[in-house]
Chain A
């Protein structure tokens, strides 16, 4: 009997799931160090205020309290660094006000940390925190980007005029203006991309540890990228050299971007552990997560398309105001620029594009990348604009897309906004999705719904995104203060089992399975003989972590490169053992053979020889079978596809139900179809969440009104339809796997599909656009205002 296929393309069950679903995952909050203290952070309940005084006397004297620290105690420490610098239109650098670890002089958003109390128990720390006497003097405040941009708006930072972090642009303004001047038709749309709160299932946590015998620091933290945290915190905040600082990100229960960034609490517990010579632990309460995890999205835009008489797109003009919050989070400036405006071509051959992006400070929680990061905002804008063009001009929604798609033979395709797409076929994904969704049969379903008093609509989005942000040289020239390569270390042990050390990080994505399959496939080792290790700077040479759907495309490619080295070395050893030339050695299915003979050595035999080099070419070859590769991609990858959504609206209540959803995506090479499907399902769930349910609501002054699950609508299983997932892949041309990435496609492609369906359902009422989320109240108000008498009937 042959063993079940478990290589590339097999839907192998996830190796990590038994641990997770049986409650044996090992998360940061599960880590307790001997002698550990507990930190509790007192946060601002005001959006903007001057700190008049902080009296810590009573708190410091409370039972069990080891220390109380405020901004003054941390004054010698650097602020939280920003990892990306954008330049203004005039070439000057963006405004980059200090982001203190604990507030200095002022608080700038609800949730801004003011003081930390460290005590023997969390309860004692909390009790003592209530004794802190903090006098705040309210300052005028703003929450929305439009309020921040208004003349005379209160300043979030005294030295940032007009609250503008940067005023940036991309594209050829003259070409766009010229195209608009000769256009047969111009269609314009104002739209908002709603602010979201990530809400990973596991709240953030951090444990700082210090070993006074060696002066070594260890930080255990809920991070998507432990090496990045070590670099940012070590070098920029605490001034600790890397060899004295270990960062461990063990099992992490979801990130969605919110655990990329370096947060104040990580620096606090590490610094305090050194000061107090005892481990210090902090775990967020859910309420704290709402007001201290970086939020996502929050754009207000105007989009205009110039068209010729046949409906060809001539030029796109976009103006966006985006919200940075009260301070710059680690990668915040990059999101509305290089991850958004560069994506505005979408899947279309629009010849000229010009986008202006103004980033605003407001008295809200910092905003940064959240699943999709900039690309959902771009896809939503483009795909809503395309449907609005059809609404205004009468073009068919499918035809106009086909008419403007980048043709299959046009790759590599240079867009007018910097990116060069390597591969794609938007026609195939469109056709497959339309078929799976029975697009043609929709009119009958609409009529049937109408007979039941329901408004039914169908919508598509043909989207594109960019993953595996790279290459380092290019991102560096665009303002990144980091490289964006990935690292893999493949260690074949003496008996032939394999440990793979990756600089990416798994926080739900199933890397322990996908990467093991990749290695199993390439080295011909059974899956059970491969372990994937991640999340510890003491074990992994280096790494940039996981975000932007980069793990397989970049991290997997690094693994392939490392395995190539293993195989090349193995061939030399095999050649020696079998007395052949290394050029004549073939490697397949875990076996080295001499071409044209029946001489064979298994990988295990070669590994044993490498570690027990009795009969070995020791003069020319080092012992051991352990190889590392750093892989710096040549380009982004460009997943894309088509999502089709069908909704039904209850006219009486305004409730929108998603009755069908089809996603057909091009994610490049698929290693594990089941995991890809799961990633797409999860992404679509978040996309439907954004479209119909989720919204971070601030009042005008900056009080967070949706600060708990009582008011923030997370999508739940019964909010979602069965989601049909298909893949129609073209391969990435520049990485060894042909992989593109699947982590974000669901969240990027789905919101416009849902909203296009909602608007379609309401089209008989003359509705042209609906902003997200399409909550029952909003939809009812639209129906009600269009049919004023309906309510009473």
Chain B
């Protein structure tokens, strides 16, 4: 780790201001940022801790679930409200990392980071969630812009994420055997915005929607509707754990299982 200054502002405005400094970095749960700093892969001038901004918590309306950016994965996984309204989302959160990671890592941090193998991006994209920041709201379809790339401006802070409650939804994750991040994760949803299927872990550009599956499931919501629809391998990741072909295959298996699980 290189030396850096540390600030823990008490207001969102102060945080945004502090993040305006050159090479400033926001700190949420630290589950990505701290390992990156320890490996000296990043050299921030100042680390701005977001934990005093009151950004954690879960609130419900009849149509939506809103989760504060600093809400931990464990809180989402164990929330009775989330389990009732969008059980697939609670299930997804319960699959992230391990117990320790889930008690530190946050939804805001995960989305800001947009790791191509992260789980939350699949839920956000498939459910058509809206990301609220200190200055605007961003639709999921506009938010994810490639691996580790998002629509966020350098000093922009995510404050919350609002998920429309779907009629049906499920997430199926195939773990990378070593890291247990998603090697392929498929989130299927039938919600106010129609049928949406998002794939994480597999694409070189991060999370993406699967148009062919969406069309098939919109016509017939059943696992069988996906039979015979193959996923092209271009643009899919290939590494020591999974070739692009294997990933393409797993997308099909996980999508069918998710559809079946969604009922």
* Contact surface of A with B, Cβ cutoff 8 Å: 123, 126-127, 287, 652-654, 693, 697, 705-706, 709-714, 775-777, 780-781, 784, 791-793
Contact = CB atoms under 8 A, between A and B. Distances in A.
Given A653-B174, A712-B178, A777 B241 contact: yes
Contacts of A654: 246
B12 interface: no
Contact of A652 (B1, B177, B253): B253
B249 to A, nearest CB: 5
Contacts of A710: 178-179
Given A713-B177, A784-B249, A791-B249, A706 B240 contact: yes
Contacts of A693: 177
Q: Max chain B CB contacts within 10 Å: which of A705, A710, A784?
A: A710
Given A705-B240, A713-B177, A776-B177, A653 B227 contact: no
A654 B174 CA distance: 11
B240 A697 contact: yes
Contacts of A714: 178
Interface string B215-249: 00000000000011010000000011111001001
Nearest to A773: B177
Given A697-B240, A705-B240, A792 B177 contact: no
B164 interface: no
Interface in B190-219: none
Given A123-B3, A287-B39, 10 more contacts: A123-B1, A652-B253, A653-B250, A705-B240, A709-B178, A714-B178, A775-B241, A776-B246, A781-B243, A792-B230
A793 B226 CA distance: 9
Interface in B155-198: 174, 177-179
Contact of B242 (A126, A713, A777): A777
Contacts of A713: 177-178
B252 interface: yes
A375 to B, nearest CB: 26
Contacts of B3: 123
Contacts of B250: 653
Nearest to B98: A716
22 contacts: A123-B1, A123-B3, A652-B253, A653-B174, A653-B253, A654-B246, A706-B178, A709-B178, A709-B179, A710-B178, A711-B179, A711-B239, A712-B178, A713-B177, A776-B246, A777-B241, A777-B243, A780-B246, A781-B243, A792-B227, A792-B230, A793-B228
B253 A775 contact: no
Contacts of A652: 253
B186 to A, nearest CB: 13
A711 B243 contact: no
A287 B241 CA distance: 20
Contacts of A776: 177, 242, 246
Interface string B118-136: 0000000000000000000
A792 B245 CA distance: 12
Nearest to B184: A653
A711 B249 contact: no
Contacts of B252: 791-792
B165 to A, nearest CB: 30
Contacts of A712: 178
Nearest to A780: B246
A703 B242 CA distance: 19
Contact of A780 (B39, B179, B249): B249
A706 B239 CA distance: 11
A232 to B, nearest CB: 33
Contacts of A123: 1, 3
Point out which of B227, B249, B252 has the most chain A C-beta atoms below 10 A from its C-beta: B249
| Interface size, B (range) | 20 to 34
Contacts of A780: 246, 249
Contacts of A705: 240
Interface string B15-43: 00000000000000000000000011000
Given A653-B250, A777-B246, A793 B178 contact: no
Nearest to A287: B39
A452 to B, nearest CB: 14
Contacts of A777: 241-243, 246
Nearest to B246: A777
A652 B250 CA distance: 8
Contact of B228 (A697, A711, A792): A792
Closest 8 CB pairs of A and B: A713-B178, A710-B179, A713-B177, A652-B253, A791-B249, A697-B240, A711-B178, A777-B246
Nearest to B257: A652
Contacts of A709: 178-179
Contacts of B178: 706, 709-714
A697 B177 CA distance: 14
A793 B1 CA distance: 50
Contacts of A792: 227-228, 230, 252
Contacts of B39: 287
Contacts of B243: 777, 781
A793 B252 CA distance: 10
Nearest to B38: A285
Contacts of B253: 652-653
B89 to A, nearest CB: 23
Given A652-B253, A693-B177, A711 B230 contact: no
Contacts of A126: 40
Nearest to B243: A777
Contacts of A706: 178, 240
Nearest to B242: A777
A692 to B, nearest CB: 9
A777 B176 CA distance: 10
A792 to B, nearest CB: 6
Contacts of B179: 709-711
Contacts of B230: 791-792
Contacts of B240: 697, 705-706, 711
Contacts of B239: 711
B97 to A, nearest CB: 12
Nearest to B1: A123
Interface string B38-81: 01100000000000000000000000000000000000000000
A793 B241 contact: no
A380 B250 CA distance: 31
Nearest to B252: A791
B254 to A, nearest CB: 9
Nearest to B179: A710
B252 to A, nearest CB: 7
Contacts of A287: 39
A12 B197 CA distance: 56
B116 to A, nearest CB: 13
Nearest to A126: B40
A776 B179 CA distance: 14
Nearest to A709: B178
B5 to A, nearest CB: 16
Contact of B246 (A127, A697, A781, A793): A781
Contacts of A127: 2
A793 B230 CA distance: 10
Which of A697, A777, A780 is most buried by chain B, counting CB atoms within 10 A of its CB? A777
A575 to B, nearest CB: 64
B1, B177, B228, B249 — most chain A CB neighbours (10 Å) = B177
A777 B248 CA distance: 12
A713 B241 CA distance: 10
Contacts of B177: 693, 713, 775-776
A783 B49 CA distance: 50
Which of A123, A653, A712, A714 is packed against the most chain B CB atoms within 10 Å?
A: A653
Contacts of A793: 227-228
A712 B239 CA distance: 13
Nearest to A781: B246
A412 B174 CA distance: 52
A378 to B, nearest CB: 27
A793 B253 CA distance: 10
A169 B40 CA distance: 49
Contacts of B2: 127
